[in-house]
Amino acid sequence: MSDPSINPQELRDRFALIANKRDSLVRLLEQPDLGTLRIDVNQAIEEVDDLIEEFNRTFPAES
């Protein structure tokens, strides 16, 4: 992703695709037979949350 011509809206659109994957992780966490993978899924959710927070700080929503 070294394209210097990417516009901010395109970047937001690409990021939205990543942020939407969080819902998949939450649904996965609800599976009763997850076992020890539950720890990894929890960690992934935390990291996605951190990424979302950092993205929103770096690229605040335009009002």
The whole-number mean pLDDT for each consecutive block of 10 residues of the chain, a chain of 63 residues, reads 73 89 94 94 96 90 70
> Do 52 and 19 meet the contact criterion of CB atoms below 8 Å apart?
yes
Query: What is the value of pTM for the model shown?
Result: 0.76
CA distance 16 to 33: 29
- Extract the tokens encoding 53: 């927070």
Are 12 and 59 in contact, with CB atoms under 8 Å apart? yes
Determine whether 15 is exposed, middle or buried from the number of CB atoms within 10 Å of its CB (0-12, 13-18, 19+).
middle
